[in-house]
Amino acid sequence: MGLKTDVRRNLTALTGTWELWQRSQSLPQPIGTRLFSAAVALKAPYFRTVLPHVRELGPGRCVVTAPKWWGVQNHIGTFHAIAACNLAEVAMGMLAEATVPPTHRWIPKAMTAQYLAKTQGGLTATAQLDPRPDFALITSGVDVVVPVSLVDAAGVESVHCDITIWVTPRKR
pLDDT band at 7 (very low <50, low <70, confident <90, very high): very low
Q: What is the pLDDT of residue 142?
A: 97
Count structural domains, the chain: 1
CA 7 remoteness from chain centre: 23
pLDDT, the chain, mean: 91
User: Which of these, 166, 170, 124, lies nearest to 146 by C-alpha position?
Assistant: 166
pLDDT band at 51 (very low <50, low <70, confident <90, very high): very high
Predicted structure pTM score = 0.90
Q: What is the pLDDT of residue 144?
A: 98
Query: What residues contact residue 8 under an 8 Å CB cut-off, 6+ apart?
Result: 101, 134, 135, 136
Could you give the count of Cα atoms lying within 13 Å of 88 in the half-sphere of its Cβ?
A: 31
Q: What integer is the mean pLDDT of 135-143?
A: 95
What is the Cα–Cα distance from 141 to 150, expressed in whole angstroms?
28
pLDDT digits over 94-134, tens only? 999 999 999 999 999 999 999 999 999 999 999 999 999 99
Q: What integer is the mean pLDDT of 16-30?
A: 93
Domain hosting residue 112, numbered range: 3-169
Q: What is the CATH number of the domain that holds 60?
A: 3.10.129.10
Beta bridge partners of 123: 66, 152
Q: What integer is the mean pLDDT of 19-24?
A: 94
Q: What is the pLDDT of residue 16?
A: 87
Q: What integer is the mean pLDDT of 148-170?
A: 97
pLDDT band at 6 (very low <50, low <70, confident <90, very high): very low
